[in-house]
Amino acid sequence: MVKPDKFIQGINNKDPLAWKELYRFYYGALCNYSSSLVNETNFVEDIVQECLVVVWKSDLYFQNVKILTSYLYHSVYNNTLKYIRDKKVEDKRKTEWSLTQEELEDNMFYQAIEEDVIRKLRVAISRLPEQRQAIVQLSIDGLSIQEIALQLGVSANTVKTQKKRAYSFIKENLKDYFGLLLLLDILK
């Protein structure tokens, strides 16, 4: 290393030769120091490089090598801690995003299943005789047996019988999905 006074003067005057010397002398040591604070060596070089660039671009004036050394180590320390903090925030954000994505994917999956089951139910209902179709649809719409009988102009026993036959037909045709239909609260 050149004489300390000449070296500091070169750093303060932004002399490229002094900066090459600064880089050669401090870079490895600062990287080691930073890596002792954080376990990710990939970012250590970036942290040190950023500290050196900040010094180069600043108007800081160093009175001696001891002050320069102290400043560099303090800068690397602070930037390493900032990196650790930012990484924790980023990791937390990614975890929250991942959980949100999983919930969305689960919701979309269940919606797709629900839509598929409803589509199969509609197909099965469309294969029923016309009166049974009407009874099942009115039942799905929430009407009671008496209301359905009144609306269709038939007896309540006819509605019960036709509804029972329709549900038996649907249950047989959708045997793999009947439990889901009940869970979806479509068939009451």
Conformational region of residue 38, where left means phi above 0, alpha means psi within -120 to 50, and beta covers everything else: beta
- Tell me which of 7-21, 26-40, 110-124, 148-162 is least confident: 110-124
Name the residue among 35, 41, 39 with its Cα closest to residue 76.
35
Each residue's pLDDT tens digit, 45-60:
888 999 998 888 888 8
Mean pLDDT of the chain: 84
One fold for 4-93 and 127-183: no
pLDDT at 74: 94
Note the CATH architecture for domain 4-93: Orthogonal Bundle (1.10)
Q: Which two tokens stand for residue 135?
A: 């009874």
Amino acid at 68: L
Q: How confident is the model at residue 96 (pLDDT cuts 50, 70, 90)?
A: confident
Q: Provide the residue ranges of all domains of the chain, joining segments of one domain with +.
A: 4-93, 127-183
Give start and end residues of each alpha helix (H) in 38-174.
Answer: 41-57, 65-126, 130-140, 145-152, 156-173
For residue 21, the tally of other CB atoms under 10 A from its CB is: 17
**Domain 127-183 fold:** Arc Repressor Mutant, subunit A (1.10.10)
pLDDT at 185: 56
Any residues with CB less than 8 A from the CB of 71 and at least 6 apart, and which? 55, 60, 62
Q: How confident is the model at residue 188 (pLDDT cuts 50, 70, 90)?
A: very low
Each residue's pLDDT tens digit, 102-159:
777 777 877 777 788 778 888 888 898 999 889 888 888 888 999 989 988 999 999 8
Give how far the C-alpha of residue 156 lies from the chain's centroid of Cα atoms, to the nearest Å: 53
